[in-house]
Amino acid sequence: MELPPPAETQCSPQETASNRMAALSRLPLFLSLRGGRCLVAGGSAAAAWKAELLSAAGARVEILAESPSPETVALAAAAPPSSEHGPVRLTRRAWTPSDLGGCALAVGAFADPGEGDRFLATAKEAGTIANLVDRAEASAVTFGSIVNRSPLVISVNSDGVAPLFGQAVRARIEALLPQGLAAWAATAKSWRERVKSLLAGRPARRRFWQAFMQEALEHPNRQGDQATLQRLLTQADSKGLEKKRGRITLVGSGPGDPELLTLRALRALQSAEVILYDDLVHPAVLDLARREARKLKAGKRGYGPSCKQIDINALLVEFADLGYDVVRLKGGDPMIFGRGGEELTAARAAGIPVEVVPGITAAQGAASRLAISLTHRDRAQRLQYVTAHAKSGRLPQEIDWCALADPTVTTAVYMPKHTLAELVSTAVAAGLDPETPALAMANATRREEFVLAAPIATLPERLAGRMPDGPMLVLIGHVFGELESVAPDHAASAAAAIAD
């Protein structure tokens, strides 16, 4: 996708390439075996299960076994469950090298490792890919734990080193995917060519399949019919006629841990064509975005080189005006000290559709990691969010210092790194008890999480010389009194907790 350079801004967003794929122990492939000949050498129960899988994939399966197990005999004697299954034939003899010629896939199940090695060598010489039961490390191909919603098929493979782990993951996926998705997947297959012929252009077709996916997930046990097809076609086509511009979605990425993203945020990231993201967005969140999306770093960070907010607004409008679906990705929640209001105003002024996907704000993330409630019937009847960073870069003059000194309130101070000492001294002078429990927390929910607990009056001094990198928050209030018995800096234990 070619994006022209922004014409009316002085902001030069830095494009971020998608991360390289991490190393794979095996390359997952889905092999078409329908009508092909497959050989299973060995008559154990495990061999019978592999033969059943091959038959389910439509292969013509030949089992060679001198002493077949009851499971093997029963499989060969039974009629195929459907016309989609391939036939299974049992021959009571040992395998020979000539049996491997012309096989699409060969499976061996042997008690003798030497015979297994000979089987693999013969298969390699014959140009046949082969698998040995219970010897994944030696096999050219392995079988995974399968979630069958055919034509939607998911396979989980642990390369043979942790089969129980793979089975547990498969069971979790089974629980998440309704059986009815198989019918929806089959419907998608039958509709694909018709949708392609009726909807001109990739954007319209993409809108159709996005709506189709949402329909399937919301109504998994209701099969798509012709009325559904016509309704989705009409919606996709009419939106294409009406939509002369793209759209903007403000998405909150939360404090850092990608598992704290909402499902709606994940869907927005996976459908975006352009993503403008802040410096505070954790790289692991970007890894969840659609790989084809253009990812542009357009951070707005104080006390350093960054894009001006007016230029970010212009970029959002310009890309959307060109017809792209744009995600503005922000740390925390876009509507809490994220300048989301200014970006909403710019989008609306330009007549561009805009929506907001909320995220977990830093104070909530910090409270979850500390396992402390920000409100308490006996200690805090109110919660307030305060910014320590004005538009000028200095401490805001509009802060209600009496509210900050209220002993029944919990205060979350955002962006306090450069103004904390002034904020504390002013608040104490306005009546804040200098012994009020407080803490500074940086990189909440991330592996590099940092926490320092101290009475509010001493917190700036305790932080001097050890100011952490990354987004920081200061929390003040009597709900944090129990932290006084905790070691001041438990970053290591917090990181261990995340790793666990």
Predicted pLDDT of residue 9: 54
What percentage of the chain reaches a pLDDT higher than 70?
Answer: 90
The identity of residue 236, as a single letter, is: A
pLDDT score of 487 more than 50: no
| CB 72, CB 95: distance < 8 Å | no
| Range with the poorest average pLDDT among 161-170, 328-337, 385-394 | 161-170
What confidence category does residue 222 fall into, taking pLDDT thresholds of 50, 70 and 90? confident
To the nearest whole number, what is the mean pLDDT of the chain?
A: 87
Q: What is the pLDDT of residue 129?
A: 95
Highest mean pLDDT among 112-126, 286-300, 309-323, 460-474: 112-126
- pLDDT of res. 496: 35
Higher pLDDT, 381 or 172: 381
Measured distance CA(130)–CA(139) in Å, rounded:
6
- Per-residue confidence at 239, pLDDT binned at 50, 70, 90? low
Q: What pTM did the predictor assign?
A: 0.63
Q: Does residue 18 register a pLDDT over 80? A: no
The pLDDT value recorded for residue 302 is 52
For the chain, what percent of residues have pLDDT higher than 90?
Answer: 55
State the CB neighbour count (10 A cutoff) for residue 120: 20
The pLDDT-based confidence of 349 (bands split at 50, 70, 90) is: very high
Q: How confident is the model at residue 181 (pLDDT cuts 50, 70, 90)?
A: confident
- Is 90 exceeded by the pLDDT of residue 179? no
Q: What is the pLDDT of residue 292?
A: 83
Best mean pLDDT range from 166-170, 208-212, 351-355: 351-355
Average pLDDT over residues 100-106: 94
Among residues 278, 311, 325, 333, the one annotated as catalytic is 278
The pLDDT, as a whole number, for residue 301 is 55
Report whether pLDDT(50) > 90: yes
- Cα–Cα distance, 434 to 437 (Å, whole number): 9
Select which of 237, 300, 321, 489 is catalytic.
Answer: 300
Residue 427, pLDDT score: 95
Tokens 């100011």 identify what position? 467
- Residue 199 pLDDT exceeds 80: yes
Segment among 6-10, 253-257, 281-285, 311-315 with least mean pLDDT = 6-10
Q: Does the structural domain 245-360 have CATH classification 3.20.20.80?
A: no
The top-level CATH class assigned to 363-499 is: alpha beta
Fold held by 37-143: Rossmann fold (3.40.50)
Our answer to whether residue 124 is catalytic in this structure is no
- Beta carbons of 228 and 215 less than 8 angstroms apart: yes
Please report which confidence band the pLDDT of residue 341 belongs to, taking 50, 70 and 90 as the band edges: very high
Domain segments of the chain as ranges: 37-143, 181-242, 245-360, 363-499
Confidence tier at 486 by pLDDT (50, 70, 90)? very low
Q: How distant, in Å, are the alpha carbons of 232, 309, 316, 330 from that of 343?
A: 31, 8, 8, 12
CA 12 to chain centroid = 28
Query: What's the topology of domain 181-242?
Result: Helicase, Ruva Protein; domain 3 (1.10.8)
The yes-or-no verdict on residue 74 having pLDDT over 50 is yes
Query: Is there a catalytic annotation at residue 325?
Result: no
Confidence of residue 3 (pLDDT cuts 50, 70, 90): low
26 pLDDT higher than 90:
no
Which of the residue ranges 109-123, 181-195, 398-412 would you say has the lowest mean pLDDT?
181-195
Inform me whether the pLDDT recorded for 19 exceeds 80: no
pLDDT at 489 exceeding the cut of 60: no
Strands 37-41 and 60-64, how do they pair?
Answer: parallel
Give the whole-angstrom CA distance, residue 357 versus residue 345.
16
Specify the pLDDT at position 242.
52
3-state secondary structure the chain: CCCCCCCCCCCCCEEECCCCCCCCCCCCCCCCCCCCEEEEECCCHHHHHHHHHHHHCCCEEEEECCCCCHHHHHHHHCCCCCCCCCCEEEECCCCCHHHHCCCCEEEECCCCHHHHHHHHHHHHHHCCCEEECCCHHHCCCCCCEEEEECCEEEEECCCCCCHHHHHHHHHHHHHHCCCCHHHHHHHHHHHHHHHHHHCCCHHHHHHHHHHHHHHHHHCCCCCCCHHHHHHHHHHHHHHHHHCCCCEEEEEECECCCHHHCCHHHHHHHHHCCEEEECCCCCHHHHCCCCCCCEEEECCCCCCCCCCCHHHHHHHHHHHHHCCCEEEEEECECCCCCCCHHHHHHHHHHCCCCEEEECCCCHHHHHHHHHCCCCCECCCECEEEEEECCCCCCCCCCCCCHHHHCCCCEEEEEECCCCCHHHHHHHHHHCCCCCCCEEEEEECCCCCCCEEEEEEHHHHHHHHCCCCCCCCEEEEECHHHHHHHHCCCECHHHHHHHHHC
**pLDDT (average), residues 192-221:** 85
Of 14-18, 93-97, 296-300, 350-354, which gets the smallest average pLDDT?
Answer: 14-18
Q: Which of 141-150, 243-252, 381-390 has the lowest mean pLDDT?
A: 243-252
- Mean pLDDT along residues 188-207: 87
